[in-house]
Chains A and B, each alone.
Chain A
Amino acid sequence: MTATKALVDGAIVAKRNLIKIKRVPDLLVFSTMSPIMFILLFAYVFGSAISPGGHANYREFLIPGIFAQTVIFGSTITGAGMADDIQKGIIDRFRSLPMSRSAVLVGRTTSDLLNNVLVVVIMSVTGLIIGWRIRTGFVDAAVGFLLLLAFAYAMSWVMALVGLIVPSPEVVNNASFMLIFPFTFIANTFVPTNNFPAVLKAIANWNPVSSVTQAERELFGNTGGVPPIHTWPLEHAKVYTLLWCIFLVAVFVPLSVRQYRRAASR
């Protein structure tokens, strides 16, 4: 009963968020333009100098990394959206209604998931244009996209909590930028980690961003035949990534819902 109500109310809130995306297309334009820009910059600027140890094709190596980076940056939209709704008093309106206590969060993360689907489609098309190829079968590729979206969804819940805590949407953007940049760069996203200094290498090998990227490379057939670095997370990239998704959802869903109950307008 409660779960049904959360889903019904969540769908109503998600619809509201999607209307907003339609009315303010800037948000969608920027969330899709920046990954395209990243793909082009890395492929043509760094790609000319980087030869990813053993990988014949840097662009194939790069695209799964950009996928991972993009959906992580995309999760800040969830946080900024929550912070914006609090600032404008809309959360107060929602909280005074006899609706499910988790509906606003369910709705927000759902609409951001749909936004992410669109972003992934646009990135894939861009990738295909510059020479990225899926070299596996349909099932592997589908699992690859699902795993990527699952990770994006889990990250949305992390950022939802951040958005409920910080004082303004701008803080979400600035703070997350500071955290997400190193988080996505100290990983195998853009370059192989073989030559990283020891400390960074250890971080990179256990960084879930690396495992998402490794899992994508395996599922899309972009490893170039190079075996993963000899550590458990990267040798079991799909399982390790899935465990992270479960862990993030299990921890951040209840924390976010709890914070939502207390959130006050600012």
Chain B
Amino acid sequence: MVDVIQARGLVKTYGKLRALDGLDLAVPEGTVLGLLGPNGAGKTTAVRILTTLLTADGGSAQVAGYDIGSQASKVRSHIGVSGQYAAVDEYLTGFENLDMVGRLYGLGAKAARARATELLGRFSLEDAGDRPVKTYSGGMRRRLDLAGALVASPPVLFLDEPTTGLDPRSRIDMWEVIAELVSGGTTLLLTTQYLEEADRLADDILVIDHGRAIAQGTADELKAQVGGERVEVVVSSREDLDAARSVLAEVAIGAVQVDDHTRRLTAPVRGGAEVLMQALRGIDAAGIGVLDIALRRPTLDDVFLSLTGHAAEDAIVEAEAKPGAATVKAGDPA
């Protein structure tokens, strides 16, 4: 398969801070690469460079077969970009926004209008199409922004944190829209802070930290590396620890860890909520008093802890503590 997006050794520095420190990536045609990392990892910088909004200080990249430096305008006519902050004009209506973008892609007046109407329908915005975007909810703005990226039916799409800041309902709507899009064969580079999002949408996930790739694989491969789901139980009395351990051993897929001091038991499991309920029933039947019980799924934090030895939040604090970080925050919101 051809790599539609290909980057080698991308470097971008802001003062002393290396926002990108030799990033390599490749996205084969028709697949989705999830670029996963905490704030300040360099995700947005990478997208801005690949979409020709920023010039790299080092390295090279091709998008849709064109060099991002010497053939930038060719690249721009083959890509669609939707950013972290919905870049739609709030004084224009939804229709006017899409119509304008269509004309700027050179579609011509008639085709631009038809495309705008079609996209409004596809993104469930037909009723709001004649209203100024100012009146839209956050989720509607994002959908309109994504529609803007699709106006010219570009073969390559870049979505920078498409669901950051959305409420859970809108996030799920957005995932459905993106999943449908991808099933149509678009090549997509998606950045996200959420493992769940990458898991759901991406074929392949590239974890980056401090502007460098630190791991790559499918969601399952990464989770296996991180250590899957586990049930955590805190019993109310130390005497119950042994009984709880034997209940959990029945559902666990590995050794149950017991912390005497905090009265916490941790059991690696597979099967999600089903297993949690099974564990609950067992604990209830055994008459064990429980202070807390929860199913823990691997999160971005877990990925980071296992891959880098520091949590995602630490990465942010570290980035902010570095000199010149202010510049990075200003130019590179993620």
Chain A residues proximal to chain B, CB less than 8 Å: 9, 12, 15-16, 19-20, 23-24, 88-90, 92-99, 103, 167, 264-266
Bound: A265/B85 CA distance, A: 10
24 pairs across A/B with beta carbons < 8 Å?
A: A9-B104, A12-B100, A12-B104, A16-B100, A19-B91, A19-B92, A19-B96, A89-B87, A92-B81, A94-B104, A95-B52, A95-B53, A96-B76, A96-B79, A97-B101, A97-B104, A98-B73, A98-B106, A99-B105, A103-B104, A264-B53, A264-B54, A266-B330, A266-B331
Bound: A163/B240 CA distance, A: 68
Chain A residues within 8 Å of B89, by CB: 16, 20, 88, 90
Kindly identify, within residues 29 to 67 of chain B, every residue whose CB is under 8 Å from any CB belonging to chain A. Answer: 48, 51-54
Bound: A94/B85 CA distance, A: 14
Query: From residue A14, how far is it (CB to closest CB) to chain B in Å?
Result: 11
Chain B residues within 8 Å of A103, by CB: 104
Closest 6 CB pairs of A and B: A98-B77, A89-B87, A93-B87, A96-B81, A20-B91, A98-B76
Whether the pair A96, B54 counts as a contact (CB closer than 8 A) is no
Query: From residue B17, how far is it (CB to closest CB) to chain A in Å?
Result: 15
B148 at the interface (CB under 8 A from A): yes
Query: From residue B306, how far is it (CB to closest CB) to chain A in Å?
Result: 33
Whether the pair B52, A96 counts as a contact (CB closer than 8 A) is yes
Query: From residue B64, how far is it (CB to closest CB) to chain A in Å?
Result: 12
Whether the pair B53, A20 counts as a contact (CB closer than 8 A) is no
Bound: A36/B89 CA distance, A: 31
Whether the pair A99, B51 counts as a contact (CB closer than 8 A) is no
Query: From residue B95, how far is it (CB to closest CB) to chain A in Å?
Result: 11
Whether the pair A92, B83 counts as a contact (CB closer than 8 A) is yes
Chain B residues within 8 Å of A15, by CB: 100
Chain A residues within 8 Å of B148, by CB: 93
Bound: A264/B53 CA distance, A: 8
B side interface size, CB within 8 A: 31
Known A93-B87, A96-B76, A97-B105; further 20 A-B contacts with Cβ < 8 A: A12-B100, A15-B100, A16-B96, A16-B100, A19-B91, A23-B91, A24-B91, A88-B90, A92-B81, A92-B87, A93-B81, A95-B52, A96-B53, A97-B101, A97-B104, A98-B76, A167-B330, A264-B48, A265-B85, A266-B331
Bound: A19/B96 CA distance, A: 9
Chain B residues within 8 Å of A23, by CB: 91-92, 132
Chain B residues within 8 Å of A20, by CB: 89, 91-92
B134's closest neighbor in chain A, by CB?
A: A23
Query: From residue A106, how far is it (CB to closest CB) to chain B in Å?
Result: 13
Whether the pair B83, A89 counts as a contact (CB closer than 8 A) is yes
Chain A residues within 8 Å of B92, by CB: 16, 19-20, 23
Chain B residues within 8 Å of A24, by CB: 91
Chain A residues within 8 Å of B101, by CB: 93, 97
Whether the pair B132, A92 counts as a contact (CB closer than 8 A) is no
Chain B residues within 8 Å of A89, by CB: 83, 85-87
Query: From residue A205, how far is it (CB to closest CB) to chain B in Å?
Result: 43
Out of B53, B73, B100, B103, name the residue touching A92 (CB < 8 Å): B53
Query: From residue A13, how far is it (CB to closest CB) to chain B in Å?
Result: 8
Bound: A144/B260 CA distance, A: 91
A91's closest neighbor in chain B, by CB?
A: B87
Bound: A24/B330 CA distance, A: 29
Bound: A98/B72 CA distance, A: 9
Query: From residue B170, how far is it (CB to closest CB) to chain A in Å?
Result: 18
A99's closest neighbor in chain B, by CB?
A: B104
* Residue of A19, A92, A93 ringed by the most chain B CB atoms within 10 A: A93
Query: From residue A258, how far is it (CB to closest CB) to chain B in Å?
Result: 13
Whether the pair B53, A12 counts as a contact (CB closer than 8 A) is no
Query: From residue B192, how far is it (CB to closest CB) to chain A in Å?
Result: 18
A9's closest neighbor in chain B, by CB?
A: B104
Bound: A96/B148 CA distance, A: 11
